[in-house]
Amino acid sequence: MINTAFVIGNPDLCIGCRTCELACVLAHTDKKLGTEEIKNVPFSPRLSVVKTEDISVPVQCRQCEDAPCAEACPEKAIVQRDHTIYVLADKCVGCKNCMMACPIGAVYLTRVEEDPCKKSAYKCDLCIDVPEGPQCVKKCPTKALSVVLPETIKESVKEKRANTVRNV
């Protein structure tokens, strides 16, 4: 049973502006920032806009049902929390096993603010601590990003199965 939501990008709508990346960084910054203070915020988005000559699209965690990143973590620092695959940064040792296990390359490493010598895994957490939800979706100027909910997937699978039976 699929029980996690995820964000997906539409390459036909994405213009590669990286507003989603900025929205992500700001959503995960704890402070209210002024114009000068924002210059000191590390730019570490939890998604990455991939651009080619013909298309651009954000790539981010698909919140896998059987999350390979969580399975690969020797410290059990990647867990399911509120229908999201979530990194417990205080438990992460920065071994990179999760990065290697992720089938779409959506797990990254970042420096830990309290200890600049330490690195921790981070990935999309669907802005779990932001009441309005994923800020990348909310701030995208072309509406290229959307949240895919478990019930949407279940309904889509049900429709495809019904269509397959009718076409046989």
The per-residue pLDDT for 150 is: 78
Q: What's the pLDDT tens digit per position in 30-42?
A: 766 666 677 777 7
The C-alpha atoms of residue 113 and residue 64 are separated, in whole angstroms, by 28
Entry pTM: 0.83
- At 34, which amino acid appears? G
Architecture label for domain 6-64+99-108+124-167:
2-Layer Sandwich (3.30)
The C-alpha atoms of residue 79 and residue 69 are separated, in whole angstroms, by 9
Domain boundaries, the chain: 6-64+99-108+124-167
Query: Is residue 167 pLDDT above 70, yes or no?
Result: no
The per-residue pLDDT for 32 is: 67
